[in-house]
Structure 1
Amino acid sequence: MAGALIAFTAGPYAVAPQTAAVAHADPKPSTKELRSKALKLADQLEQLTEQYNGLKVKLSQSQRAADVATENAERQEKSLEAIRQKVGSLAATSYMQGGSDPTVSFVASQDPQAVLDQAATLHYFAKQDSTQVLGLMRAMQSAQRARKSAEGRAKQVKDLRSQLDSQRKKVTGTYSKVRGTLVDRDPTQLANLPVVGTGKAAQALRLAMGKRGRPYVWGASGPSTFDCSGLTMWAYKQVGINLPHYTGSQWNAGTHVSRGQLQPGDLVFFYSDLHHMGMYVGNGMMLHAPHTGDVVKIASMSGRPFAGGVRVA
């Protein structure tokens, strides 16, 4: 603004105010800068994912501890209630019998020994139950404290996991946007970006990406050569999912998804007879084994009639 005022007051040949106020847009980041940012985000996402997985394990352990502590407290409470009822019954009997002088009861009784035996028995059980009640109360209090502590730990871990999951989703969204911008500018960059995610679909795609450059061979299913359904079958087999070596059967091996719902690792099919397929990578691109004389590579899905997508995992 100061520059504009100087120019305006400098003389008759000064720049007009309206043209001097035009702002210049910030330069767009270069392809190299975008790729660097994408790689940093992917690395950050991997760290967050591992932290999330660690908290999942801790939460499972805390919840198990809370369940065990709760069961223990419930057992102690049931035992205490049984003793409570027994002591109450003994107390009532003692009170009823204590209404007269024990000596009179002894003399008036037809069976004095029975009175002595009953009195001694009542005294014995009352004494024993009193000791047991105290022990059970202590055990119950200890069990309840353990239960509250375990439940508190479980809640704390659950809250942390929720916060971490929110952060992970935010970074994933940012990564997807940066990757999309980069691939729109230079589609070849997609091959150099990591496949993010811990699900089996992402794992299978990550493994399949390692087979880029391997030759297409009809009927082959790896580990060195592949045809289109052989590549997807091999990749998913490595993560514990068995797919048949036939596009038509793989079409029925999972949940059908639309083109707009595709996620990395989903199977994509082409032509009405489903004679070609690949694995979705992202941004309208797929990994596939094209045909004889070609190699496993990333290619655009455009140019082939899209039949549908299948989510296996």
Structure 2
Amino acid sequence: MQRRAAGHRTSARRRIVTATAWAASIALSASLVSPAPARAEPQPTRRELTARQKKLADDAEKLSEQYNGLRVRLAQAQRAAKVAQGNAARQQKALDEARAHIVRLAADSYKNGPVDPAVAFASSGDPQAVLDKSATLNYFARQESTRVAQLLQTMQAAEHARKSAEARTRQVRELTDEANRKRKELQTKLKKVEAKLGFGPGARTGAGPAVNVDPGGASAKAMGAVRAALSQRGVPYSWGGGSASGPTYGTAQGANIKGFDCSGLTLYAYAQVGISLPHYTGSQFTAGTRVSQSRLRPGDLVFFHSDLHHMGLYIGGGTMVHAPQTGDVVKISSISGRPFAGGVRVA
């Protein structure tokens, strides 16, 4: 009886284990076939979006100036490659001419070679002429041989410089293309954040009321640049924007709108008074005489941040006119509260 009861209990336990495993298998299969709905990620608050927009806009301005700097370097590399190519071509031409001269000398020597010099000297009506001709051929052969050797060395150096300059151009072009690609990616991210914030594309809102600027000892050209920059208030910020001839504008909806970035605005302003500046904050930082913040005058270039990724045109009273960042327009702002990196006087 005890053995039979124990057998019944063992059988019952097996049935329970089997049933439990079967139920677990059914539950697992159901979870695989019909996964639980994913939890929706919480949407960022407007405050978080605004902070992200400011961070992206600042990163975009840094990248924009890096791109501007690479464009300047690319133009320099292209000019160097063109000069090196022209120099190599000139050296090749000189080398070819020297080689041709030696060929002619060799031909002359060959023509006169079969005649024994002693016979020619004895039978000639003018023995001195034979000696002079032989000496001349030998002299020029030696001279041209030396010249060819020198030209060959120069040609090799010129060719090396050409290849080096062209390699440098390719390298800078690749860096420029990469910076432009990153800039476009960042611009796409920024537009998405600004769309969530309800930011529309910038449009010119007008220069605003006239501003009286005290020259404070500034030169006529510096004041001319100030007036030119102030006339562009309300123009939208545009990456890579700015030229000597000024921006162009599309519709208020943003089609084909072009404007200024920070270094583009100062480039434009000084171009109006006949002073050419490169389209890059780093290059403009070395374009004139360095001045301290306490000695700034209207028309001085003012730079901010250790990497100089933002700048403006000082107009006096602790203020500047500048193109702040994407989504904004050219306007007057205080220079206080910004990490001042230096001032530069170009006129």
TM-score range, shorter chain: 0.5 to 0.7
Matches within 5 A, 1:192-203: none
Aligned equivalent of 2:190: 175
Q: How far apart, in 2, do the equivalents of 1:241 and 1:137 lie?
A: 45
Match of 2:150 among 112, 132, 135: 135
Cα shift at 1:127: 0.5
Q: How far apart, in 2, do the equivalents of 1:69 and 1:63 lie?
A: 10
2:74/2:169 contact within 8 Å kept: yes
User: What residue identity is the alignment partner of 2:38?
Assistant: A
1:264/1:282 contact within 8 Å kept: no
1:233/1:242 contact within 8 Å kept: no
Cα shift at 1:20: 8.8
Distance 1:151 1:95, change over 3 A: same
User: What residue identity is the alignment partner of 1:81?
Assistant: D
Matches within 5 A, 1:242-261: 257=251, 259=253, 261=255
Aligned pair 1:166/2:163, yes or no?
no
Unaligned runs of 5+ in 2: 1-22, 25-29, 214-228, 236-241, 261-324, 331-347
Aligned equivalent of 1:234: 231
Cα shift at 1:222: 4.0
Q: C-alpha deviations, 1:146-177, integer Å up to 9, x for none?
A: 00001100100001100110110110111011
Matches within 5 A, 1:101-112: 101-112=116-127
Q: How far apart, in 1, do the equivalents of 2:119 and 2:91 lie?
A: 42
Q: How many residues align?
A: 219
Unaligned runs of 5+ in 1: 1-8, 11-15, 196-200, 212-219, 225-231, 244-252, 267-280, 288-313
Aligned equivalent of 1:263: 257
Match of 1:65 among 80, 87, 93: 80
Q: How far apart, in 1, do the equivalents of 2:53 and 2:234 lie?
A: 29
Matches within 5 A, 1:25-64: 25-64=40-79
Distance 1:57 1:26, change over 3 A: same
SS of 1:263 mapped into structure 2: coil
TM-score, normalised to structure 1, is 0.59
Question: Relative to structure 2, which stretch is displaced further, 233-242 or 168-177?
Answer: 233-242
- CA RMSD across the alignment: 4.1
The alignment-based identity, stated in percent, is 41
User: What residue identity is the alignment partner of 1:235?
Assistant: Q
TM-score, normalised to structure 2, is 0.54
SS of 2:231 mapped into structure 1: helix
Distance 1:173 1:26, change over 3 A: same
Distance 1:169 1:223, change over 3 A: farther
Distance 1:49 1:75, change over 3 A: same
Cα shift at 1:85: 1.1
User: What residue identity is the alignment partner of 2:125?
Assistant: Q
Cα shift at 1:264: 6.8
Cα shift at 1:237: 10
Cα shift at 1:99: 1.0
Cα shift at 1:221: 3.9
User: What residue identity is the alignment partner of 2:139?
Assistant: Y
Distance 1:286 1:165, change over 3 A: closer
User: What residue identity is the alignment partner of 2:198?
Assistant: V
Q: C-alpha deviations, 1:81-127, integer Å up to 9, x for none?
A: 11111110000000110112111111121211111000000011111
2:248/2:257 contact within 8 Å kept: no
User: What residue identity is the alignment partner of 2:162?
Assistant: R
Q: How far apart, in 2, do the equivalents of 1:58 and 1:282 lie?
A: 24
